[in-house]
Structure 1
Amino acid sequence: MIGPADSNATPPAAPQPMRELVVLTHGIASTRFFLAPLAARLRSAGFTTRLTGYPSLWWSNETFGKRLAALLRRVAPSYDRVHLVVHSMGGIVARCALREELPPNFGRVVQIAPPNRGSHMATRLAVECGHPAWDNFIVRPHRFIAPTLVELVDAPDSFVNRLGPAPAGIDVGVIAASNDRVLYPEQTLLEGAADHCTVNGWHTGVLWTKETAELTARFLRTGRFGEGGQLSAVRDRLTPMAEA
Structure 2
Amino acid sequence: MQKQQKCTPRIAILTAIAIMFILLIFGRSIQAVPISQPAPSPKGSVIVLHGLARTSLSMTYIARGLAKHGYVVENLDYPSTRLSIPELSERYLSPAVERAAAHSWPVHIVSHSMGGILVRQYLADHPTHEIGRIVMLAPPNGGSELIDAVAANDLLLRKTLGPAASQLATATTSLANTLPSVPSDLGVIAGARSWNPLFSALLPGEDDGKVTVASTRLPGMQDHLVLPINHTLIMWNNEVLTQIIHFLEQGSFIHQSNIH
Q: TM-score, normalised by structure 1?
A: 0.77
Query: Which residue of 1 is the match for residue 82 of structure 2?
Result: 58
Distance 1:105 1:93 in 2: 16
Residue aligning to 2:156: 141
One-letter amino acid matched to 2:209: R
Question: Unaligned regions of 5+ residues in structure 1, if any?
Answer: 1-15, 129-134, 227-231, 235-244
Q: Answer whether contact 1:73 1:103 (CA < 8 A) is retained.
A: no
Aligned residue pairs total: 202
Match of 2:185 among 171, 179, 184: 171
Residue 194 of structure 1 corresponds to 222
Amino acid at match of 1:23: I
Is 1:47 paired with 2:47?
no
Deviations 1:46-79 (A, max 9, x none): 2221111111112211112223123212331221
Q: Secondary structure at the match of 2:75?
A: strand
Following superposition, the deviation at residue 119 of structure 1 comes to 0.4
Q: Tell me, in whole angstroms, the C-alpha distance in 2 between the residues paired with 1:222 and 1:103.
A: 23
Cα contact 1:108–1:220 (8 A) shared by 2: yes
**Structure 1 residue 233: deviation in Å?**
6.6
Q: CA RMSD in A?
A: 2.1
Provide the C-alpha distance between the structure 1 equivalents of 2:137 and 2:170, rounded to a whole number of angstroms.
18
8 Å Cα contact 1:64/1:93 also seen in 2? yes
Residue among 114, 131, 135 paired with 1:110: 135
> Which one of the candidate residues 160, 167, 175 is aligned to 2:176?
160
Residues 100, 201 of structure 1: CA spacing in aligned structure 2 closer, same or farther, 3 A cutoff?
A: same
Number of the residue aligned with 2:121:
96
What SS does structure 2 have at the residue aligned with 1:156?
coil
TM-score (norm 2): 0.72
Give the alignment partner of residue 69 of structure 1, picking from 86, 94, 102: 94
Whole-Å Cα distance in 2 between the matches of residues 207 and 187 of structure 1? 18
User: What is the percentage of aligned positions where both structures have the same residue?
Assistant: 32
Q: Which entry has the higher C-alpha Rg, 1 or 2? A: 1
